[in-house]
Amino acid sequence: MIQQIKKFLYDSLSLLAFPLFYLRWAIGNTYQSKNNNLKEEPKPPQYPKEWSDLFIHSYNNEHEKVLEILQREPNSINSVDSLNWTLLHVAVSHKSIDVVNLLLEKNIEISIKNNKGYTAFHIAACNGDLDIIEKMISMNRVPNGNIISNDMETSLFLSITNNHFGIAESILNYYHSNMIGSDNNNEKKNEFKKMIDQFNVHGVSPLLMSVLRKNLMMIKKLIEMGADINSFKKDNSTALHCAAIIDFTEAIEYLLNKGGIEMMNSVNRYGNSPIHEAAIKGNFKSIQTFIKQLKIINENEQKQLFLEIIDKKDKDGSTPLHLCCNCVNSNNIENNLKSCKVLIEEGGVDVNGVDSGNATALHILACVSGDLSLPLVKYFLEVGCDPTIENRYGWTAIHQAYHNKNIQVYQLLLDHLKSKNPTYNLDIEKKRVFPSSLNNSNNNNNNNNNNDSSLNNSEELKLKGIERLKNVIKDIKDGKIKNAIVLSGAGISANAGIPPYRTKDGLLAKNKQFSFSMELLEKHPDVFYEAIRDHFYPIHKASNENDREDGISAGIKSTTSHYFINELNEKHGCLLRNYTQNVDPLQERTGTPLEKIIHAHGSFDQWYCTVCQKQYTDKSDRIWREIGRGGLPFCTVPECRHVIRPAVVFFGEPLSQDFRVNTITDFRKADLLIVMGTSLIVYPFASLVNDVASDVPRILFNFESTGPFVNTNDLNRKEKLKQEESLNNNNDNNNDELIVEARGNRDVVILGDCDKGVNYFNSLFNSI
């Protein structure tokens, strides 16, 4: 039980990075077993062993003792512990107001951040300590408002997140008067604007958080002070999307009045507008509010806007009406029904409207298992929905209900058909007709019809793909592309002699016992480092001992793909960042600046001891020489001598802070995304491909299509390749052909060897 209480308290204070040992005293003295009637002697407080008397007195609000020490040792006022907590951090966290006042009067440094990036002001804002906040403000002892934590949180953001709106208002008023005041200083205005729009690592701004906390007054104050009404989260959802999701109708009305009806057309990464999100949740009140706002505008514009917004299709081709009917997981069918009624009766939506698969809302309802959708089906039939409309596969809603074994829905649709259209010829056992089958049936006199159709499709996609590549090249040459991001994986190092992990020659296949894990390193360091040596230190490839500048992958040279990434920076000046899954230094060897490269999974450039935390940079090659001769690298601290580890991400460990902070900022700026040599199956790295805006072009250089780039052509090729491998009894694919094709409405794939793909791109670049 006590462990559960500890966990609860620790989790509830995680925003503050408040160390658990700071809470032990409180827990030990307040927790008593219900079954224990005996009085226990209070346990003495347990402080961190490293804490001096000054820290302990500050924690316990012992003003006189703190003053006495500071008078004797004035330089100790800015002391920090191992977590970089100052006396002010400690006093604020324990609400030791007398000591806080003393420290502020003694001019303690107020901008020091602890190990999680929080100042004492952050902690007070998060904890809701209005007295401390007002004291610091009254003394003008407040740090810069744009200081952010490791998770990119400002003090303003933390106060709103934790529902301390009085504090948020005080912070806003203070910084507004100090940053803007009466003078017309644009630099200060920009600083204030930056503060009120600063988003955290998830892309959530103070405005978005105010919506999520359902605080209309804070929403109004932020917008009146200049907050960006169109700010968006990592998934491109705006404040209006958030309001629609939580059914915050007052916010919807206010945001639309301030930002205009065009806000309703904004879409997130899934292609969903705010009304789509309301429909998914069955939030009929939000849908009503959207329609009400639409009806306010001029009637001549209304019809077009209704078509654009009320019947808008998302990326899957679904309209809001279709989404209202997709109620398979709904907890409240009544809300789904009300949402449909609002769209049809107040919004004038066509009950027989179809999605991209030519399915009506009735088709969707007929697929909902367990006859859950029966009330909605009855309503749709009452308002004139036609159950005989066929989807792209030739099935009506009746077929869908029958084959999904939704007996009541099937019987209802059948009875309706018999009463309204008794002459309709229904073949209930009719087979679905897929598009490829349709092509075959239309061309059954041609023995090669299927291959011809596939060939024509591939040729069309190739021409479109080349056209898109030329457009990207032209934009690079014209300087329109300024912030290209490259996602690279093991595939770009394959031609250097480092096989990708999951191939038959890769690290995981050759070393069945190996895994990047602390468990293996601690229990079997010899197995761990033997695998590391074999994969990352192929001595047999060393061409010259003097080439070994950094030891790792000795003698191996960077590939054409690595140099292509460097040229984006050096030659074209458009590389914003290279996010790489690789832990080798081959990209750095091309001359790409270190600040342009982020190793998402860590790098063998850095090492550290897990016991004493001593860090190592292997400039002298000592560590790799030890590994290369079959030894183990040990910590050089005499009293430690523990086996050290590389600073790479082990299984179960979070990615680096650099990765988290930079991705959220960089991907908002990106105007081109290039993906090279990665299978996009390891998350969260794989999710980055979806973090660019929906109109940003994406190019894939890879042996095969993967992730969001896959289409039916790729699946057919994969199946054909398997058959060929089976016939040849050979798992090697020696096909040197490059495949260039368009995908979706913005993507291009260049499939084959990465270096050959780069050569193709460069030749096209030089020909324009």
Beta bridge partners of 648: 602
**In angstroms, rounded to a whole number, what is the distance separating the alpha carbons of residues 123 and 113?**
10
Cβ burial 284-313 (10 Å sphere, 16+ → b, else e): bebbbbbbebbeeeeeeeeeebbeebbbbb
Coil, helix or strand at residue 617: strand
Q: Is residue 403 annotated as part of the catalytic site, yes or no?
A: no
**In angstroms, rounded to a whole number, what is the distance separating the alpha carbons of residues 626 and 631?**
5
- 268 — phi, psi (to 5°)? -90, -170
CB proximity list for 234: less than 8 A, separation 6 or greater: 202, 203, 664, 691
Q: Which entry of 276, 535, 601, 642 is annotated as an active-site residue? A: 601
Coil, helix or strand at residue 267: coil
CB proximity list for 115: less than 8 A, separation 6 or greater: 17, 83, 84, 85
Q: How far apart are the first and last CA of the chain?
A: 71
Nearest to 266 by CA among 285, 246, 243: 243
The two structure tokens encoding residue 276: 């789509």
**In angstroms, rounded to a whole number, what is the distance separating the alpha carbons of residues 646 and 294?**
58
**CA gyration radius for the chain?**
32
CB proximity list for 79: less than 8 A, separation 6 or greater: 52, 54, 55, 86, 87
- Peptide bond before 684: cis, by omega within 30 degrees of 0? yes
Q: Write the DSSP string, 326-348.
A: --TT-S-HHHHHHHHHIIIIIT-
- Locate tokens 């698969």: which residue? 357
For the annotated catalytic residues, the residue numbers are: 601
